Amino acid sequence: MSIEQLKDQIPDFAKDVKLNLASMMADETLSPQSKYGLLLATAISARNPVVIAAMESAAAVVMTPAEVAAAKSAASVMAMNNVYYRFVHLASNPEYKTMPARLRMNVIGNPGVDRADFELWSLAVSTINGCGACMDAHEKALREAGVSSAAIQTAVRFAAIVQSVAVAIEAAGMGVTQAVE
C-alpha cells in the first residue's frame, strides 16, 4: 500500500488529518532517511497495520534494508524503554530511580544509522508513547548533536500526524481488514 492509497482511506470526518498527511509528505525539513525512518518508527508505535504497511512500503523506496531495520529497532526498544522509564519517572517511590534498569538496549549505542536520526526516531516514538523522561533524554541528545529546534519540532509534528492517521482509520472501522488486502 502506498501513502497515496493510505490518504484515500482517511474518512471525510478526518479531512484535517488527510490535509496534514499531504503537507507532511511534501515537507522537506528532514533528510529522506530521517523522514522515512521517522514515519516507519511512528507508524509501528501507532500500531495500525494499514498505516504500518503504507509507511514501510514508502520507507523501502528510499532506505536500505539496514536503515529500515534501524527504524524498526527504534520503535521496538522505545516500546520497552518508554514503559519502564515512564514508570520510574511517575512512581512516587524514589527508590526505583536508584535501581539498575537491567534492560538490554545495545541498539541505542550502535543503531546502524546516523545517531541523530536514531535519536530523532526515538524521540518521536517516545512522544507517541507518552514518556516524558525519554522525551527529555532524546531531545537533549539531539540538541547536543546540533539538531535544530525546528527539526525536532517537525519530528514531533510528524509523529502526531501519523498517530492521527491511525486513529482516523481505526475510527472509520478500516483497521485490520484493509491491511490484509
Residue 63 DSSP code: S
Q: How far is it, in rounded angstroms, from Cα 62 to Cα 50? A: 20
Return the C-alpha cell found at 153: 519540532
Strand ranges (E), 35-123 = none
Q: Tell me how far CA of residue 97 lies from CA of 77, 82, 87, 133, 169, in angstroms.
A: 19, 14, 10, 11, 39
Nearest Cα neighbor of 1 from 37, 61, 55 is 55
Contact yes or no for 86/105 (Cβ under 8 A): no
Return the C-alpha cell found at 48: 495500525
Rg for the chain, CA atoms, rounded: 16
Q: Which residues are known catalytic residues?
A: 131, 134
